[in-house]
Structure 1
Amino acid sequence: MLLIILFVFILLLMLCYGLNEVRLRSSPLVPSIPNAIPAFSYGLSKKDLFTKLMYMGEFTNKHNGAAKFNIGPIYIYIITNPEDAATVANQCVHKLFVYKLIDSYVGSELISASYPVWKKNRRFIDNAFKPIVLDSFLEIFNKQSKRLVSSLRYEENKTFDITDIITRNILEIVCQTTLGFKTEDKDIVTDEYAAAVQSMLKIMTERVQYPWLMLDFIFKFSSLKKKQDEMLKIIWSLTDEMVTLRRKEYQDRLLMGETNYNDGSFRSYLDILIENSDKTNEYTNSQLRNIVDNLMLAGYDTSTYQILFALICLGTYPEIQEKAYQEICKVMDSSEKDLTKEDLSSLTYLEAVIKETIRLYPIGPVIARHSDKKVQLKNFELPSGVPVVVHVWSINRNPEVWGPDADQFRPERWLDPNSIPSNPAAFASFGPGRRNCIGKSYSIMLMKTVLSHFVYNYKITSDHTKLQFELVVMLKPYSGHLVKIEKRSEIK
């Protein structure tokens, strides 16, 4: 009986502490979002999860860019004001605990890393993203773009889902540039790998939808854990093998006295990481595998859907597609033409199309951080110890920032400096502030190359108004993403 009384007393103390925490961490200056909690109830589809998340962002936009909702004693703040988003991104550098769910896949070296680990690894990875390295990738970008165009000849004059074709092509590009795969017009990756990555993303999403599965001691007894292990075996078999092979090749070159690696010739990200790692003896094979797994995921899955959304937008607006085509024709005089970095620099309208696509359809629609201290924002003080969500989708579409046409696809806004918000965080797709995306230049260069070859050879028809989305860690099209392609008769 005494133990029961003691237990109830402790429970009451914990409840009082929790209620006090709610009071302390709930700013009266920030409105609460009604009907927000069901977004985290189990049983919602991934499509409904995205719809609920968008509702929360729209509500926040209508209330000066800051709102909150609570799950029990936990308050979660949502930010859609660019100025506040930049402050949060720069001062709240610790990722929210849900990012740890990705550790089983890509380790804790980059995406979910603690800030000190991320800072160290970011400096290390910067060596692989210098302009001279990116320029050396252009040959691969051109070659694979031509392969993509060639593979589409069987789909001409059909309405079809182009996702799988783009996925395979972009995955091959990323495998070559990240891991150093060599190919002579042969498929170098399997559909099994791509399917395994998609399965992993779905498993992570389901663990958030069913909160008890976020507890490892429960998750390890679930059928999802068994499936995860099977998918990881497929994914890691690729990167493990390449890390071991590339490290041996590098050590063999050193034994032969080959030490000049700065001549601008092609080297994969992995080659550069191994070279810099072996100089300092800092990174094990396992750490290198985790880093390249991060780069593989960020490189291929995001680029695939960014290109898909760009094609859909071009297919929706024939006049915009024609302007892009005419610009591309100025640098391409045949289907065999290889684009140079000078060519890409001159494609200013195509770049505007790409940026407008990424603005309206950010692959990572939200960024979640944890405030480890009080942070002064524009209209209130963010409490310490609360989750805070930078709502990228709604920042990019905030009419107070982008104007009344914020939801419209209008590439011309990028050609007029007066149409672009002064705060760079207003274009949040690559992440504002610290811990931003390292692959922005890679992504833009890749998209320009692929889209140039595609638009030069094919006229696209689609309708972006039919797009429906789901949240599978990242933004994915649920339906409405079919396209029709017609061979351009005037190409050489």
Structure 2
Amino acid sequence: MWVLIIAIVFVSVFYTIISKVKNYDLEQLKKHYSHDLPTIPFLGLSYLAVGDNEVRMRSLQTIGLAAIRRGGVIAEWFGPSLYLIVADPEIATFILKSCSDKDDVLPKILGSLLGNGILVAQVPIWRTRRKNLVPTFNMKNLNKFVYIFTKHSEIMSEKLMSMVGTGPFSIFNHFAAYNMDSVSESVLGITLNAQEKSGHPFVEAFTEGFNLTSARMSQYWLYNDYVYRCVPSYKKLMRAKKVMVDFVKDIIVSKRKSIKEDRNQNSTDAESITKSFLDMLIESSGGEEGYSDEELRDELMVLLVASIGTSAAGVGFTLIMLARHPEVQDKLYAELNEVFEGTCRSVTPEDLSRMKYLEIVIKESLRLYPPAPAVLRKVVKSLTLPTGVTVPAGCNVLINIWGIHHNYEYWGADAEQYRPERFLEGSFKHPSQYMPFSYGPRNCPGYQYALMSIKTTLATLLRRYRVLPPTDGDQFPPLRTSLEITLADAENFLIRLEPRQNIE
């Protein structure tokens, strides 16, 4: 393995030298957007990301803070590639609206697990897929999914009773099982019962595939496909992917068959049926003349991974913040008591719009801990930034969402503090200084789905339980975060639960 690593480093150095000789314009851009971080000859800042997923997140924070110190933008080589690192919302907005091409690395890594879905597809495919996908996320459809979220969050709430009084525990597995149930029913139209029983082949394959892909992202010497195919984790990933693909494929075949059988039957009012995303994708793409089974499979795989990762992280970080800030939790509980009149009745779509304080509590959690803390773009044609600086073709761009959300120029001197009320203090200095689900034409089309799932889950849990930190006290160290496919807590979301009183 060490011989392989040395060989890869040697090749990286060689290509870096060639890149710098051939790309004078990129070198000039680097000089214009200089920074104060130490670099290594030929490798630039790539050394910062060598390590596990926690190291990768620290490196993202380091370069984000460096960009903030330099007015929001810096540029540096990461091996053979120059990256423009942006922590300023104005420049980020311009680039995200101008550049829709992903970089070359991330789509390849995620594509090994997810196929060619909207998250990783090249622009021509992405544009067509998004056109078919966006209409399915209308509020009429999403409101129907609230009942699915409610059903499975109530199951989770009931099962968490066994954790009361047991001390600190990781709530992430409970979230993962809840999300697997709610997402599989809303996206695929099936019931997995992941919360009721463990060991489902799809759930186990999904977990392994997610973990293996996250691990590869922290090992830059495995980015090359030829190299990755030589290591044992590649075969494990392919086995996990096959289980996932076969499972989804069987559902697609079954769904097409049932649609065909029901086409001429009008015994049930179609408006009363909660259609899954699979149903809607088949319809919006043109039925039998629309998406192929493979195209449907790729989109469903993306929806499953993105929905589960985003919702679980959103709920997890919000609960940790509420545990650390009891005054915020008390204020939120008062709002929930007002909306639900002191009962534990099921959440309805109408309730979600009334929970204004819960909404800004979630927003502040997503500001400090965005599910996707960075997005990558590739400049295919040179473009001139609002500052007048030209970014040449061939440059990569890292939009540091974590840095934008922590930029004190836009959020104030207390940018590192958890303070939901900041979202009630008038207009932002820039409309995109808050972009937890990215920004521009290639933002996440399912962000409303994720927010409704998060709100439903929290409204269910927090009426029944008070959330406490793992240890007593009012001083807490900064959270250790980990950059996996989505942002995660390095300690796996440890909390304690205490039952609420006087709930009917």
Q: Kindly indicate whether residue 51 of structure 2 is the aligned counterpart of residue 21 of structure 1.
A: no
Whole-angstrom distance in 2 between the partners of 1:183 and 1:366 = 32
Task: Please show how residues 289-308 of structure 1 align to structure 2 within 5 Å.
Answer: 289-308=297-316
Question: Any idea what SS the aligned residue of 2:32 has?
Answer: coil
Whole-angstrom distance in 2 between the partners of 1:246 and 1:132 = 22
Whole-angstrom distance in 2 between the partners of 1:182 and 1:453 = 21
Task: Please show how residues 141-290 of structure 1 align to structure 2 within 5 Å.
Answer: 141-158=149-166, 159-182=168-191, 187=196, 190=199, 193-256=202-265, 261=270, 263=271, 265-279=273-287, 281-290=289-298
Whole-angstrom distance in 1 between the partners of 2:264 and 2:109 = 41
Question: Any idea what SS the aligned residue of 1:83 has?
Answer: helix
Q: Kindly indicate whether residue 486 of structure 2 is the aligned counterpart of residue 474 of structure 1.
A: yes
Q: Report the counterpart of residue 81 of structure 2 in structure 1.
A: 74
Question: Any idea what SS the aligned residue of 2:190 has?
Answer: coil
Which among 362, 384, 391 is matched to residue 400 of structure 2?
391
Q: Report the counterpart of residue 97 of structure 2 in structure 1.
A: 90
- Do 1:22 and 1:74's aligned partners in 2 also have CA atoms closer than 8 Å? no
Task: Report the AA paired with residue 234 of structure 1.
Answer: V
Q: Report the counterpart of residue 464 of structure 2 in structure 1.
A: 457
Question: Any idea what SS the aligned residue of 2:340 has?
Answer: coil
Task: Report the AA paired with residue 374 of structure 1.
Answer: S
Whole-angstrom distance in 1 between the partners of 2:57 and 2:304 = 24
Whole-angstrom distance in 2 between the partners of 1:300 and 1:486 = 26
Task: Report the AA paired with residue 46 of structure 1.
Answer: N
Q: Report the counterpart of residue 312 of structure 1 in structure 2.
A: 320
Task: Please show how residues 326-341 of structure 1 align to structure 2 within 5 Å.
Answer: 326-333=334-341, 335-341=343-349
Aligned residues: 479
Question: Any idea what SS the aligned residue of 2:263 has?
Answer: helix
When normalised by structure 1's length, the TM-score is 0.91
Q: Deviations over 1:394-415 (max 9, x none)?
A: 1011000111111111111112
Q: Kindly indicate whether residue 450 of structure 2 is the aligned counterpart of residue 439 of structure 1.
A: no
Deviation (angstroms), 1:334: 5.6
Identity, % of aligned pairs? Answer: 26
Task: Report the AA paired with residue 321 of structure 1.
Answer: Q
Whole-angstrom distance in 2 between the partners of 1:253 and 1:141 = 27
- Do 1:79 and 1:389's aligned partners in 2 also have CA atoms closer than 8 Å? yes
Whole-angstrom distance in 1 between the partners of 2:486 and 2:108 = 15
Q: Report the counterpart of residue 57 of structure 2 in structure 1.
A: 50
Question: Any idea what SS the aligned residue of 1:484 has?
Answer: strand
Q: Report the counterpart of residue 123 of structure 1 in structure 2.
A: 131
Which segments of 5 or more consecutive residues in structure 1 lack a partner in the other structure? 1-11
Which segments of 5 or more consecutive residues in structure 2 lack a partner in the other structure? 1-13, 471-475
- Do 1:69 and 1:75's aligned partners in 2 also have CA atoms closer than 8 Å? yes
Whole-angstrom distance in 2 between the partners of 1:17 and 1:360 = 36
Question: Any idea what SS the aligned residue of 1:368 has?
Answer: strand
Q: Kindly indicate whether residue 34 of structure 2 is the aligned counterpart of residue 31 of structure 1.
A: yes
- Do 2:374 and 2:398's aligned partners in 1 also have CA atoms closer than 8 Å? yes
Deviation (angstroms), 1:52: 1.6
Q: Kindly indicate whether residue 496 of structure 2 is the aligned counterpart of residue 484 of structure 1.
A: yes
Task: Report the AA paired with residue 95 of structure 2.
Answer: V
Q: Deviations over 1:419-453 (max 9, x none)?
A: xx242221121101120011111111111111011
Q: Report the counterpart of residue 425 of structure 1 in structure 2.
A: 432
Deviation (angstroms), 1:302: 1.3
When normalised by structure 2's length, the TM-score is 0.88
- Do 1:94 and 1:371's aligned partners in 2 also have CA atoms closer than 8 Å? yes
Whole-angstrom distance in 2 between the partners of 1:382 and 1:402 = 27
Which among 108, 111, 118 is matched to residue 119 of structure 2?
111
Task: Report the AA paired with residue 110 of structure 2.
Answer: I
Q: 1:190 to 1:355 in 2, by over 3 A?
A: farther
Divergent runs of 4+, >6 A: 183-186
Task: Report the AA paired with residue 26 of structure 1.
Answer: Q
- Do 2:315 and 2:458's aligned partners in 1 also have CA atoms closer than 8 Å? yes
Task: Report the AA paired with residue 372 of structure 2.
Answer: G
Whole-angstrom distance in 1 between the partners of 2:264 and 2:334 = 52
Task: Report the AA paired with residue 34 of structure 1.
Answer: L
Task: Report the AA paired with residue 491 of structure 2.
Answer: S
